[in-house]
């Protein structure tokens, strides 16, 4: 696990975008795992800028999104389908047939989830998975106590997540869907590389437990301690509770040039 502390969310998002651009340049048909939420918004803006101003080419890139609310059609502004099209896909040259997002309106959840896993396998696996993190340490919609071996499946949201996501549903908790489809923790762990982003004070506790706490399904993101190539890119505020933050900075500042990815 590599912890990279950036001054603020903006500089971290630019670093993340450069990293992704580098992955795409090295492997134009790479498979990206994508996340929603407010955290990756600045990253997506920067990728759009790179596409428009620097010809960053997404024409062969394949994408798989982490999750979706069950019961929301694709054109519902609160769905993750809508979010992704609005904030990234409609501004870049990714091919529609290369975009995969769990279908919130599927009538056969079990078959859909199995097929989603198969599609990831057929695409050759995820080269780089982008993650945000919930205040309780969830990744995707893998709520606390999700099995580390879990695959794409239906999950029931915790009250904490419903409360925190109510901001996208007129601040009305009753409007937040109770069920979602999410890639499993095992699915995420199969990705060749993982980049988790977290910004702001509200994420400090989850980050401290993810990086320096015990490995526990109670903090789903802590599983990344077992991933071979996981990078945790955070701002000063999200890093504020880390005991070894000076060490992480020291390590990063002394990385050999050839090994510096951003």
Active centre residues (catalytic): 67, 136, 138, 143
Sites for ligand GLP among residues 55-74 (CB under 6 A): 66-67
Neighbouring C-beta atoms of residue 8, cutoff 10 Å: 13
Nearer to ligand GLP, 56 or 188 (CB): 188
Interface region with ligand GLP, contact rule CB under 6 A, candidates 44-52, 133-141, 239-247, 250-258: 133-141
Work out how close the CB of 202 gets to ligand GLP at its nearest, in angstroms, rounded to a whole number: 8
Q: Residue from 5, 31, 42, 133 that binds ligand GLP (CB under 6 A)?
A: 133
Interface region with ligand GLP, contact rule CB under 6 A, candidates 48-56, 105-113, 132-140, 243-251: 132-140
C-alpha span between 69 and 195 (Å, rounded): 23
Sites for ligand GLP among residues 18-37 (CB under 6 A): 35-37
Burial class (CB in 10 A: 0-12, 13-18, 19+), 243: exposed
Cα-based distances in Å from 249 to 41, 97, 192, 244: 25, 41, 24, 9
Contact between 38 and ligand GLP per CB under 6 A: yes
Listed residue (131, 151, 129, 139) closest to 63, CA to CA: 129
Give the x/- contact pattern for ligand GLP in 135-154, rule: CB under 6 A: -----xx-------------
Q: What angle do CA 235, 240, 241 make, to 5 degrees?
A: 135
How long, in residues, is the chain?
262
The per-residue b/e assignment along 166-175, b for 16 or more CB within 10 angstroms, e otherwise, is eebeeeeeee
With contacts defined by CB under 6 A, how many residues of the chain interact with ligand GLP?
13
Q: Residue from 13, 16, 34, 39 that binds ligand GLP (CB under 6 A)?
A: 39
Instruction: Enumerate binding residues for ligand GLP (CB under 6 A).
Output: 35-39, 66-67, 132-134, 140-141, 161
């Amino acid at each position: 696990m590599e912890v990279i502390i950036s001054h603020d969310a903006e500089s971290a998002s630019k670093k993340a975008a450069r990293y992704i651009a580098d992955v795409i340049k090295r492997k134009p048909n790479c498979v990206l795992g994508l996340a929603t939420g407010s955290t990756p918004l600045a990253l997506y803006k920067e990728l759009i800028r790179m596409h428009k101003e620097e010809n960053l080419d997404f024409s062969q890139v394949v994408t798989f999104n982490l999750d979706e609310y069950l019961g929301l059609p694709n054109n519902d502004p609160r769905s993750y389908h809508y979010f992704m099209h609005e904030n990234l896909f409609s501004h870049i040259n990714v091919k529609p047939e290369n975009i995969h997002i769990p279908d919130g309106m599927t009538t056969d959840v079990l078959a859909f989830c199995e097929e989603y896993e198969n599609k990831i396998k057929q695409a050759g696996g995820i080269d780089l998975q982008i993650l945000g993190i919930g205040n309780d340490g969830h990744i995707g919609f893998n709520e606390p106590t999700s099995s580390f071996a879990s695959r794409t499946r239906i999950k029931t949201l915790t009250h904490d997540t419903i409360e925190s996501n109510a901001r996208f549903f007129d601040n009305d908790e009753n409007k937040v869907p109770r069920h979602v489809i999410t890639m499993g923790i095992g699915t995420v762990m199969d990705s060749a590389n993982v980049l988790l982003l977290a910004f702001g004070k509200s994420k400090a506790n989850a980050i401290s437990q993810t990086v320096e706490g015990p490995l526990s399904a109670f903090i789903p993101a802590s599983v990344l301690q077992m991933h071979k190539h996981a990078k945790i890119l955070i701002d000063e505020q999200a890093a504020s509770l880390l005991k070894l933050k000076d060490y992480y900075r020291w390590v990063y500042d002394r990385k050999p040039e050839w090994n510096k990815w951003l």
